[in-house]
Structure 1
Amino acid sequence: MKTADFYFDLPQELIAQDPLEDRSSSRLMVLDRKTGEIEHHIFKEVIDYLNPGDCLVVNNTKVIPARLFGSKEGTEAKIEILLLKRKENDVWETLVKPGKKAKPGTIISFGDGLLTGEVIDVVEEGNRLIKFTYDGIFEEILDQLGQMPLPPYITHQLKDKNRYQTVYAKHDGSAAAPTAGLHFTSELLEAIKAKGVNIAHVTLHVGLGTFRPVKVEDVTNHHMHSEFYIVEEDQAKLINETKQRGGKIVSVGTTSCRTLESATDDQGVLHAGSGWTDIFIYPGYQFKMIDRLITNFHLPESTLLMLVSALAGKDNIMAAYEEAVKERYRFFSFGDAMMIL
């Protein structure tokens, strides 16, 4: 299977640069994977495709304002840091630009010394381990100094940090938002619950690997970055009981999907627990837990496009994307949504 098989031509102007005023007024393409049939809706009409006894599974991770701008002590050279993974309390794996200015031993100052970081090691792919020193609570300082780490294809500055968070974001730890969830409002979620649909939460802290292009010609040679997930005992019980009763498991986003598929055994039972997953889902994969998927429109040749192709069939997805371009759907993080039935 070739990476080039997942290429499509995407006009630059269809990449959404700003979130809509009303989260749930984005467009929704509904794709029937058995027939390939496509319908066009508004996102809030997603409720019409959810039935009493189904379970909507959301990822309640919270994006941290992980982009920091500082200066190197001694030379005052400007350095940008992106927090990727917390290794220990105050030690983080980071992406540093420009990396050549960040040799081990380098001290970087942020916010006039409110936060300082020492480069203690170089890890794979040139990332740096940085130990931070500060007075007070790290999260509060980060909130004060950090910026939201928007994807590289978004060039506009975000006016309101909360627009890159889902309304149910709870656990700090992501370097990117689980963007399919950005379409839900509290009102829509309440209406979904009132219809008799259960809402379950899992946590997967999204890493920047989600934007990493597939650089190999053969898809099967691509290696995913690992991401940390948590499935709580009561949530696993709710999801398993839904499945046993014949309700549909509707995954909100590829991150919820990857969490569920990582923590489900070959008998189709979801296990509570936490750990790291580098699951790579591409055509040929047999889904063990999810029945339906709500997702955004993804980059050409991306692992996310491969995941949705595994669920809906590559031909169906490529035809749906061609239709989305023709109908001028908005793409990527702040774009429109698709529901795969």
Structure 2
Amino acid sequence: MTHAFNFHLPSSLNATQPPERRGVRRDHVRMMVLDKSSGHINHDRFINLEKHLQPGDLLVLNNSRTLPAVLTATRKRHNERTPTRIEIRLARRISENTWDVLPVGEEVRNEDILEFLPELSAKVITEVSGSPIKTICFTKKGADLLERIYSIGEPIRYEYIYQDWPLEYYQTVFASKPGSVEMPSAGRAFSWEVLFKLQKKGVRLAFIQLHTGLSYLLDDKWNTSPEENNEEFAIESTVMKNIYETKVSGGRVIAVGTTVVRALETAAKTGDLSGWTNLYIHNKYPLKIADGILTGFHEPKASHLDMLEAFVPRPLLFSAYEKAIKHGYLWHEFGDMNLIL
């Protein structure tokens, strides 16, 4: 159950297009730097990130690659005379050939066949109780399935994005492990120049994976809590070793995005370096690994705001968000950045 605070977000602050299409390099978006103890705020540009970090800090990034998760299929049903065209949104990967999906606009039942290509179809094998999510089994698996998804799919676009943008705009420069149905957007502003400047200063980098699931089911009545949102993660043992060495030596571990926080804190809690997480982090959750977070700006009542309250008290966070609105920071995946240290 989410308890995040509410506020008014003017629609003018929705980033409706990638910064590159607004004439701004991806690494030149604005960045609000918030001191989690005092509430002091600095206004800067993301290109100057290294100025706010120290030698010995460790920045942990999610290198999950975004899938074009919107697919179009022909639904074929026993005794149905005319096949129906239908949109299918991938929600999360269950196995090499099995996915949870969200059908859009048309009903889907068990045993229905969804034909995406002459050589790629899927059968609806189960329904998720109390949810519009269905589970389907594809006729391809692994790399073969991903190759076809990339050939026919489109990235998920929500209502504040007014036009379609190519998948490249939904990828981080370091993305390498396909699996996210929505972009791990906290890493979007990074360029190779920023990464090089960080390393030159002595800030270390580490990469993990958490494959983001579908965050919105297109109807408010289906809004899910973090505990209902299972996502797959993987952390290499050498990365965890570097994390603990950083903390022992007095450096800070800074998570790039809520996905990274969720993965790291799950590993700290369970001891597992891979698997599934539905961890709900809130103001009473004792963070064991993440000392800071780099993230975007989150919309009113979002559970991500609950997580931010584990880093900074609500009054300071609320005040910072008020200042972000006053100063015209932009929201969502194509928007500006917030560094909390």
Q: TM-score, normalised by structure 1?
A: 0.90
Alignment CA distance shift 1:213-1:41 (3 Å): farther
Give the CA deviation at 1:89: 2.2
For residues 287-326 of structure 1, the aligned pairs below 5 Å read 287-326=287-326
Alignment CA distance shift 1:32-1:289 (3 Å): same
Partner of 1:232: 236
Alignment pair present for 1:261 and 2:261: no
Alignment pair present for 1:120 and 2:119: no
1:173 equivalent among 179, 194, 209: 179
Partner of 1:48: 51
Give the CA deviation at 1:88: 2.7
Tell me how far apart the structure 1 counterparts of residues 63 and 337 of structure 2 sit (CA, whole Å): 18
Letter in 2 for 1:9: H
For residues 33-44 of structure 1, the aligned pairs below 5 Å read 33-44=36-47
Q: Name the % identity.
A: 35
Quick check: 2:295–2:339 contact (8 Å CA) kept in 1?
A: yes
Tell me how far apart the structure 2 counterparts of residues 214 and 263 of structure 1 sit (CA, whole Å): 31
Tell me how far apart the structure 2 counterparts of residues 281 and 244 of structure 1 sit (CA, whole Å): 24
Give the CA deviation at 1:56: 0.4
Give the CA deviation at 1:156: 2.1
Alignment CA distance shift 1:294-1:127 (3 Å): same
DSSP 3-state at the match of 1:137:
helix
Alignment pair present for 1:71 and 2:77: no
Quick check: 1:214–1:302 contact (8 Å CA) kept in 2?
A: no
Alignment CA distance shift 1:325-1:262 (3 Å): same
Tell me how far apart the structure 2 counterparts of residues 191 and 252 of structure 1 sit (CA, whole Å): 16
Deviation per CA, 1:50-106: give whole Å up to 9, x if none. Answer: 111110000111111111012223523221111122223222111112352x11121
DSSP 3-state at the match of 2:138:
strand
DSSP 3-state at the match of 1:82:
strand
Partner of 2:94: 87
Letter in 1 for 2:132: G
Query: Which portions of structure 1, spanning 4 or more consecutive aligned residues, are displaced by more than 4 angstroms?
Result: 210-216
Give the CA deviation at 1:314: 0.8
Letter in 2 for 1:59: N
Alignment CA distance shift 1:285-1:55 (3 Å): same
DSSP 3-state at the match of 2:335:
coil
Partner of 2:27: 24
Give the CA deviation at 1:214: 8.8
CA RMSD of aligned residues (A): 2.4
Quick check: 1:54–1:249 contact (8 Å CA) kept in 2?
A: yes
For residues 125-274 of structure 1, the aligned pairs below 5 Å read 125-133=131-139, 137-158=144-165, 160-209=166-215, 223-265=227-269, 271=271, 273-274=273-274
How many residues were matched structurally? 330
Quick check: 2:15–2:160 contact (8 Å CA) kept in 1?
A: no
Tell me how far apart the structure 2 counterparts of residues 82 and 11 of structure 1 sit (CA, whole Å): 28
Tell me how far apart the structure 2 counterparts of residues 7 and 272 of structure 1 sit (CA, whole Å): 34
Give the CA deviation at 1:8: 0.5
Tell me how far apart the structure 2 counterparts of residues 223 and 198 of structure 1 sit (CA, whole Å): 32
Deviation per CA, 1:98-148: give whole Å up to 9, x if none. Answer: 352x1112122224x242222122123131121222599212111110111
Q: Which runs of 5+ in 1 are unaligned?
A: none
Partner of 1:13: 12
Quick check: 2:62–2:184 contact (8 Å CA) kept in 1?
A: yes
Letter in 1 for 2:261: C
Partner of 1:281: 281
Q: TM-score, normalised by structure 2?
A: 0.90
Alignment CA distance shift 1:77-1:179 (3 Å): same
Give the CA deviation at 1:202: 1.2
Give the CA deviation at 1:14: 0.8
Tell me how far apart the structure 1 counterparts of residues 186 and 313 of structure 2 sit (CA, whole Å): 20
